[in-house]
Chain A
């Protein structure tokens, strides 16, 4: 491991326009998804999902507790918790990705 930042010769890179639609859901799409009883998965830690801790590093994500908040009475579809960084898993797996069967 090193702290040296490598230098590579610069290139010219022509990219296509960003295409969000295949991968990204926007607010209204999430609303529609929730209203049709679609499933949401919350990958934050259990503490953050419960609202016991907010995210210190990312101020834009400092919204504690779970979604969908405003619509919970009308649509009691709480996001299911599937933390991406479970402590026990990190200890046993050195941060490796979870298998399909475990997920």
Chain B
């Protein structure tokens, strides 16, 4: 069995959050918090379901096959309705493959309020969550 996130010895232990953490933080009404939490589903678009309220965020440039430019990142962030104070939680398929990619892209633009949901979509689904 895999140990809980906090006992796995990570150096940056706050980056990876459990499905319980996500469920708890998302139950706060958005207006009640100055630092809201948003989930972003980083999978290939249209390939799978998402947790209720999860957004699409595939931050790569289709033409140049590079990371987004600053303008493209700003436009993505505006479209999904986040501000620099929003905590963004990424989750995806295949051991959070694209979720981790998205996490790093957000780091390149200084959006440090970012997390990855341990187990991704698979674990969320297996736990029967919405």
Residues of A near any B CB (own CB < 8 A)? 1-6, 8-20, 23-24, 57, 60, 84-85, 90, 92-97, 99-101
- Across-interface contacts of A94 in B (CB, < 8 A): 2, 119, 122-123, 126
- Count B-side interface residues using an 8 Å CB cutoff: 55
Q: When the two chains form the complex, which single residue of B3, B38, B121, B125 contacts A8, counting CB atoms closer than 8 Å?
A: B38
Q: In the complex where A1-B125, A8-B38, A95-B95 touch, is A18 in contact with B70 (Cβ < 8 A)? A: yes
Mostly, the A contact residues are loop
Which residue of chain B lies nearest to A93 when distances are taken between CB atoms in the complex?
A: B2
Assembly CA distance A94 to B126 (angstroms)? 8
Mostly, the B contact residues are loop
A17 near B70 with CB under 8 A, answer yes
A15 near B56 with CB under 8 A, answer no
Assembly CA distance A3 to B51 (angstroms)? 9
Residues of B near any A CB (own CB < 8 A)? 1-3, 5, 8-11, 16, 38, 44, 49-56, 65, 67-70, 73-74, 77-84, 94-97, 104, 107-111, 116, 118-126, 130
B50 near A10 with CB under 8 A, answer no
Q: When the two chains form the complex, which single residue of B1, B16, B82, B108 contacts A97, counting CB atoms closer than 8 Å?
A: B16
Assembly CA distance A97 to B83 (angstroms)? 28
Assembly CA distance A84 to B55 (angstroms)? 24
- Across-interface contacts of A16 in B (CB, < 8 A): 70, 109-110
Residue picked from A84, A94, A96, A100, most chain B C-beta under 10 Å: A96
